[in-house]
Structure formats: structure tokens, C-alpha cells
Structure 1
Amino acid sequence: MLLKKISESFQKHSKRNAFCIDNTYYTYQQLAFAVSKIRKRLEMEALRGQKLVGIIAFESNDFYTYAAIYGSLFTGIGYVPINPDNPIERNNSIIQQTGLTTILTSKVDNLVKALVEANNLAVIVTSELPEVEIDYSCPTEKEDDTAYVLFTSGSTGVPKGVPISQKNFTAFIDAFFALGYTIDENDRFVQMFDLTFDFSVVCYIAPLVIGACIYPIRSGGIKYVSVYTTFEEHQITFACMVPVTISYLRPFFSEILFPKLKYTLFCGEPLYYDIALEWLKCTPNGKVINAYGPTEATVFCMVYDFDPEKGKTKSFNGVVAIGKEMDNMKAIIVDEHNDPLPQNEKGELCLSGPQVTPGYWKNDEKNYKSFFTLSTNGREEIFYRTGDLGTIDKDGDFFYLGRIDFQVKIQGFRVELGEIEYHVRNFTNIGNVVALPTQNKLGTTQLHLFLENYTGDFKEIGDYLATKIPVYMIPSSMSSIQLFPLNKNGKIDRKKLYELLTS
């Protein structure tokens, strides 16, 4: 039981540090006190039949926000993290879709007041609750109960909710520890993500299970500078990152050395072979893991250990393999008729197993499109369509080939944008490159290439591409911008690039 393990950590490691926030340490005992007083207050809500509670996620380094998350879990109430910096229309939609009546917040500012007034919410200010005795007991967990609900962007403009059940949540944590990483209470985990991004979950849950310390990084400022400083000053041993973070550190690789960093786990976007190889030199005693998984499959569900010394350097179009399924998960590649494809054939990557969400929040239409049943080994299994293009090799390792919607038709030919980006990276040695489709005045599709801080000759890129790909795949226009826009999860914001292109 997940909560039992965390409760045991509270007791066993009471004098050890659970968090280091802005160089202030909080012990497991202090965290247990904070969780208990929030839990005490939330139990009143549970008695009223409350199933979900909203949590205002001000910063990734707010102590009481984390305490609120643990407090809701120990009360048996699912939590819905809400970023107050998001557009109020989006947050109102999330609150209305989930039927929230109560929110937890460490402070009340104008953004919170606006949400409260617009949705008639009750407010619990977690930093002002009275002290209580520590409660180490665990609630009765039911597999189908909701642990949390995260919202992702929807094609209709309305965010879609992804509920993660207690079964999903526990299956992920169990599968994570089954990977066999050598970690214990002496390890130091970094947490650099917005709490509405599911990659943050492993950063603030897994350490508590083993009594380790969490080092959150403040959301503001120049992120990669804060990452470097935190790694250096606190001798971080376990880091989860999106690959674009090390792209910004890349110019300084020759000066970076993190001998204490044991594991760097990448997820959220493609990890490129060349930069993974260079990063290993910065972490001479560390391992690089490429993880894969959509929010709908609880954080991540596939991993590949990138280990040149053991010859484990598989890649496709320069993107490191995503490897094999974690415990009890199943991945397949299917065609447009949902028929499984053989090795080395390209198709949609689909997932099944205990980490897969029971379905989108109150969205039957989306569920119908996103899930299907397949008979395998004599039994019916429900699969989730990831929308990702993939393939599998003879060893059972999977490869991420890009989004299916990143495939475009040019002059009747199907074009994978990732292939173009791969060749441009090879030629320019620039990490951040994005090819996007656009419509010309005649209404036909053509390609535009964005490069980050490129000072060379665009014609040379075109000439090089002409030796590598068919002429219809060569972008008809190119431009350089100093810094690519990033979304709140630290990924390249393709939507913003589209807006730049159309403007």
C-alpha cells in the first residue's frame, strides 16, 4: 500500500529532511504535522461526501502545496491541481467540469479571489490551520477511487480531464521501484515541474516512499540556471528532466561535472542520441534513462537504459529508443483498423495495463475515440490510443517516431517532420529545430523550418537536405529565433511557433 509506505517514512525518518525549499529544510516530522492538520480539516469535507478537492499550485517550491497533496491522499479525497497563472477561463472550466466546491491554498491573492468569486468556492488556507497531533493512520484505499485529476489541452479548446485512480497510482509507483534503481533515504531528488504536469508526481511521491529529500526549483527566473545551481550546490543524485532543459545547458557542458548524479530520467519529449551521449560525460558516475508515457498512462510506462558501454544506444532518426514496458503494462503497434502490426512496421502506439486511466472525465465522446478492445491471448484487453507513431524491433524495443498529427501530406506524399528535423540537427549541430506545415496563398501545404539561434546560411541547409531527402520534403522557408518558446511544462511550445508563423 502506497500510503502505508509513506506513513512509515514519516515515522522512521522523522528527523531526516523531507524538503529543501529556498535553502530552508523541512523534516519528515514537520511535514507530517502539516499533512495532519490539513487532513483533519479535509476529513470534515469527506464527511460531507466530497470526492475531489482543488489545490492551488502557486509554485513548484511551496511547502504547504505539497502538504495539501499528501493531506488529500491521506484523507481519501482526490486532488485537482490548479495553476493560478493559467487563463481564468481554463481554470473555471476545470473547476466546473470536476464540480469542485472547496479549494486548498497556502495564501489568498487576487488570482485566488477571482476563482473563488467566479465559482462560489469554499477556501481552506493551509498555512493558517491550527496545530494538531500527527495522524499516521491510512485510509481504506479502494482501487477505483480517484487519486488525482490532471487536465491536458483539448482539440476543441476545452481542457480534458484525466482521472488517475488509486489502482493506476499504486501500479505506477510499484513499477517504478521494480526498475531496480539503487536509491534510498540518502538520495537527493530534484523537482522542477509545474504541479499540473504529471512528471512532477514521481518527483514528489517516490522520494517519500524511501525517506529521501526533495529539492524543488522555483518556477520563475531562468530555469536552466536554477537547475545547474541546484545540482551543484545540493549534489543532486536523482533528476527527472525534459530533454529541452539540457539543450539550454549544452553550451556549458565542457564546464559541467556532476559526479554525484546517479540517474537522469528523461521524459516528456524526444531525447536525442547526440545530446544524451554528451550529457553522460557531465555525469561520469550516472545513468541516462529515456522514459515514455502519456498522462493517460500515469506519468510514464516504458523505459530504455541508454548505456553506450553496454552497447545500448538504439535510436531512430536520432531519437533514443523508448525501450520496453514497465511491470504489467503492454504496448502494441496497430494500423488504422486496430490490427497489430509486425516488427519494424510503423503504426500507432497503443497501451494497456493497470496504469491506464479508466477514461476521460465525463467525456464519453472522447473515450469512444481513444479506447478500443482487442482480444489477445484469449482475453479481452482495453487499449488506449496514444496518438504517437511508433515501431518495435526484433528485440522488443519500441521507438517513438513522432506524433501522428506531425505527419503531413506534401504533394500527395506522407512526410514525417521528425525526419527533416533529424537531418537539420545533424548538419547544424543545433538542438532545438522544429519543422511546421503551413498553407501558402494557393492553399497548398508547404513546410517552414524554425531554428534556435542559428547564424549560418539557410541556403547551406537547403543544399544539405537536398542530398538527404526528396525535394518535396525540403522546407520552402526558414527562420531563426533567439529562444524557442516553452510551455509551462518546459517543452517546446509548438502552438506559439505556429502563431509566430501565421503572424
Structure 2
Amino acid sequence: MEFVKRLQESIEKHVDHNVLCINGVFYTYQDFALEISKIRLAITTEIEDSEKLIGLVTNDDLLTYASIIALWLEGKAYVPVNPEVPFERNAKVFELTETKYVLDSSDNSVYKDYRVIASKGIVDTEINLTPKQFSGDQLAYILFTSGTTGLPKGVPITFDNVQALVGAIDVESTFNLIPSDRCLQMFELTFDFSVVTYLFPLLSGSCMYTIPKGAIKYFYIFKLINEEKLTVLTMVPSIINYLRPYFGEINAPDVRYCSFGGGALHSDIAKEWSDCLPNCKIFNYYGPTEFTVYSGFYPYHKNTDTKSHNGIIAIGTPQQDTLYLVVDENNEEVVIGETGELCLGGPQITPGYWKNEERNAQSFFMKNENGKSVRYYKTGDLCLKDEEGDFLYVGRADFQVKIRGYRVELAEIEFHAKFKSEQKVNMVALDITNALGNAELGLAIESEEFDSEYIFDYMKIKMPSYMIPMHVRFIKEFPHSINGKIDRKELRKHFNIN
């Protein structure tokens, strides 16, 4: 597998460079190579070759990252679980994947019912980074996301999928990491964005800077930008909302690239943020876990490339070998300028949800194109394609609600509320069910309470009455998922309607 071979070559070439900075402590690629080799020897000694899915406890340490590479060199997949998540849920992940072995760098592992390989304290061995020969259709990892049935939903990704991602990023001339780059790695390793924030620095001999568990993410990122002079930032957009009060203190000429993904990037804050990064190229990436992290991007520039819809920056065009298709409810392509569900096809598409044929039937379909049958994934994202070929993000299909029989896009409400607000704060529109079972609209504002009447007066001249929120809640700090996304389900609990 080409990218695994390239990892070997990069680690061997950059032995004197730093690979990771964890809580202020630096580790070299030489340190990394030794830990990979030690863990790899333990894998080959203790795990049968037939066992391909290996559990991984995602601690913020050198050993956890080394475990991923050690497994890949052996052609095995990692099944990550976050030690801060309830044990019962992690055990369910291992049950669904029939995982027997767990790599764990914790001082004391809680996974007593599994065959634990304690990666701390493994005896030294000679460095061995030569990858085994294995097929690209073998799995590289399985990530689990929340499922509507209460069970976590598994997304398996193959080595071929990852290779296609690497190939697509490689051909983008506007993005090229170098060994001297200092890269932010803010993502928990159970989140798909983490794959690009560790994989591409490793392929380039760059250094990654992680966020310690328990640290306030936005504050720690602010510190890293200022003190460590980071050059590459990959973030979810919600982070810069929290950094916004500090924009006046941020002048980061060292930052070369800043990539966003995992949420809507709003045009107003994108412009303010770009003022903090005078020498930076900004990319708004798009892509779900089911399509191996990235599927395409829009190169944002505050003066020349600001295309948006309802205040949300465009998601641009698909990357190499990726197909975008906007369809109606019958999976038929809609005309240019019409909103539909975005579907993705190409070599990065997952083989399908893990042991979930019902969900697979709902989420994937085949379409004949130019005499070839193409498999597509239905993203659940509403988009439209403009006359210039750029794709614009409209909103989530599940954020489009029916109010008094009218179809309402929650993102449009948020756009008008934020546009008029004198306070630059987060605002989220929600559909709330009242005591009679009818849907009503609520607006959550992340702020101390202020007079918002003028915002609602403005919305009344911009939108029909059924789109005006009937309920408003001021919340000092929005709840977030572990991956940094606003937790709408938790937000709804602040609206008790009788």
C-alpha cells in the first residue's frame, strides 16, 4: 500500500525532526520509530494474523499514535474508543466489531475482559518500519458515530479509501506541507478529521501539536498559535467563535494554511479570522466520515473568493476522482440552481455501514453514468450547484422542518438573526415540540441576556411570520459534542414549552 510505504520513508528520513508536541513535551521521529517498532513486535507476538480489527484506547500520548502506524504496517485496522466516554458505550463498539484485542497506553486498563496489550513498558527492540504486503481492500479503521436507534453506527474505511484521499490531496498544488511545518492536531482520535491532522504531517515530516485532554480547546489553541508559531491549522468552525473575543490580540503571520470542516463556516467570522492570518490560505473543506474525511473544498479569500449562501461559505468543487450529484427525493439529478440532497461517489466511499444492511439500503444507491454503474452515498446535506460549478451549502436535510405546513430551513433564520445582531455571538435556530405535539421555532443565543427585540423586528421584514422564532433562550455557553460541534439535542432541553 503506497501511503503506508511513504509513512515508513518519511519517518526514517526525518529521525532528527520533532513529530509531536504533547502538553509542552517534544518527541522526535526517532522516538516515534522506536515506539512503533516495539508495539509492532507485541502485535506480531501476541495477536493472531487473522485478527484484523484491534481496539485502541485514544490517550493523548506518543504511544497511541505509534499504535496506529504499527497496526497499519501489519495491515490491521484500529477501532478507537475514547477513555472519557462511558465504558458501556465503548464496550458496545468492541462487541459490534467482535474485537478481542485492545492496545492501551493507560497506566491501568479498564478493559479487563479483553486481551489488553499495554503499550507502556514494552521492551526495546530494533526499529522495523517495513510494511507487510496486504490488500488495499482491507480495513484501515472503523469509526463509530451516534446512531438514531441508540446504537453507535460503524463506518469502516479501507486502505484503498485512505490511498484515494492521499492521492487527491497530493495533486492540489495549493496545499503542500513541508518538514518545518508546525501543525495543529485538535481532534480526538475517534473523530474522522483526526485522520488528516495526523496523516499528512507524518507523510511530510512535520510536527503535530495536540490539545491535552481536559484543556479548554480554544484557549489552548490561542496559546499554541501565539507561543509555538503554528503554521498549519485544521479546525471546526465553532472554535473561532470562541476565539473571536481575542481576534484583536491575534496576529499570526506564520500560519500558511487554515482548513475548516465539520460544520458550517459563516462568512462574517471568516473575514474577521482571515484578518488575523495575513499570509494564510484558507480552505473550507467538505466531507463526511463515510467518504474518508474530505471530498472537496472551496478556497476562501476575503477579497476575491467569498461565495456564500445564507451567510455560509460555499463548499466549492469536488476533489480528484470524486463525483458530486445533487438529487431530489427520487435520486434524480436536479437542475443547476435547484436545492437537493448532495450525494458523493468515487474511490473514497466506505464499503458500507458496519453490519447494518437496513441503513445501507437507505444511504447508498447505484446510478448508471456513461455506461458505468456508480455507487453514491446520500449525505443528508442540502446543496445547490451554481452556474460557475461551485456547490453551495444550504443546510442539513434534518434541519429543514415543517412549521404550520411550510417547509423552513433553519440556517436562513440563523443568517438573518446574526446579520442584524450587534453582538457577534452564536445563534442556533431549533424546532421545538410543544405540549400539543406541534412544531414551533426557538432561537438559542450564546450570550448573557440582552435586548433582542430589534433582531426580531428585523426578521419580521425579511421572513414570513411562520419563520419567526416564538421562543428565545440566552445560554451562557452552548453544549458541544466531544468533536467540537454544537449539540442541538442538548440545546433543545433549554426550551420547556407547555
Per the normalisation by structure 2, the TM-score is 0.97
1:399 match: 392
The aligned runs of 1:5-44 (5 Å cut-off) are 5-44=6-45
1:403-437 deviation digits (Å, cap 9, x = unpaired): 10111111111000000000011111434111111
1:255-294, aligned counterparts within 5 Å?
255-294=249-288
1:105-184 mapped onto 2 (5 Å cutoff): 105-109=104-108, 112-113=109-110, 116-117=111-112, 120-180=113-173, 181-184=175-178
- The code of the aligned residue for 1:211 comes to G
Partner of 1:196: 190
CA distance in 2, matches of 1:192, 1:136: 27
Output the CA distance in 2 between the equivalents of 1:86 and 1:454: 30
Task: Please list, as runs of the form range in 1=range in 2, the aligned pairs for 1:58-457 lying within 5 A after superposition.
Answer: 58-59=59-60, 62-109=61-108, 112-113=109-110, 116-117=111-112, 120-180=113-173, 181-309=175-303, 311-428=304-421, 429-457=423-451
Q: Provide the secondary structure at the position in 2 that maps to 1:495.
A: helix
Q: CA deviation at 1:263?
A: 0.7
Partners of 1:499 and 1:441 in 2: CA distance = 14
Residues 1:484 and 2:483 aligned together = no
Query: 2:34 & 2:216 partners in 1: Cα distance?
Result: 33
Does the CA-based 8 Å contact 2:181-2:231 persist in structure 1? yes
Please give the per-residue CA displacement for 1:448-499, whole angstroms capped at 9, x wherever unaligned. 1100105322322221110110000000110111111111001111111122
| Per-residue deviation, 1:85 | 1.3
Amino acid in the other structure paired with 2:431: P
1:312 partner amino acid: D
Contact 1:46 1:77 in 2 (8 A): no
User: Residue 48 of structure 1: CA displacement?
Assistant: 4.3
TM superposition shift of 1:84: 1.7
**Distance (whole Å) between structure 1 residues aligned to residue 143 and residue 433 of structure 2:** 34
Cα drift, residue 45 of structure 1: 4.6
**What 5-or-longer segments of structure 2 have no aligned partner?**
none
- Indicate the SS of the match to 1:308: coil
Q: How many pairs does the alignment contain?
A: 494
Superposition deviation, residue 29 in structure 1: 1.1
Question: Per-residue displacement from partner, 1:13-63 (whole Å, max 9, x unpaired)?
Answer: 11111111222211111100000111111123553411110010123xx11
- Residue 350 of structure 1 aligns to a residue whose secondary structure is strand
- Worse overlay, 275-284 or 394-403: 394-403
User: Root-mean-square deviation (CA), in Å?
Assistant: 1.3
Structure 2 CA distance for aligned equivalents of residues 35 and 136 of structure 1: 8
Q: Deviations over 1:312-348 (max 9, x none)?
A: 1100000000001111000110000000111110010
State how far apart, in whole Å, the 1-side matches of 2:220 and 2:166 are: 28
CA distance in 1, matches of 2:462, 2:85: 42
Q: How far apart, in 2, do the equivalents of 1:45 and 1:476 lie?
A: 61
Point out the more displaced range, 145-154 or 425-434.
Answer: 425-434
Letter in 2 for 1:395: E
Conserved 8 A contact 2:55-2:99: yes
Q: TM-score under structure 1 normalisation?
A: 0.96
* Structure 2 Cα separation of the partners of residues 284 and 82 of structure 1: 38
Judging by fraction of residues, say which structure has more helix: 1
Q: Aligned partners of 1:383, 1:45: CA distance in 2, in Å? A: 39
Task: Tell me the alpha carbon deviations over residues 224-266 of structure 1, each in whole angstroms, 9 at most, x when there is no partner.
Answer: 1100101111111111000111101111111111110011100
1:466-485 to 2 correspondence within 5 Å? 466-485=460-479
Q: Supply the distance in 2 between the matched residues of 1:458 and 1:210 (Cα, whole angstroms).
A: 49
> Cα distance, 1:183 vs. partner?
2.1
Residue 147 (structure 1) shift: 0.1
Q: Name the aligned partner's letter for residue 25 of structure 2.
A: T
Q: Distance in 1 between matches of 2:338 and 2:139?
A: 37
Instruction: Structure 1 unaligned segments of length 5 or more: list them.
Output: none
Query: What SS class does the counterpart of residue 120 from structure 2 fall into?
Result: helix
Between stretches 376-385 and 180-189, larger displacement belongs to: 180-189
Q: Which amino acid aligns with 2:273?
A: W
CA distance in 1, matches of 2:163, 2:46: 24
> How far apart are residue 500 of structure 1 and its match?
2.5
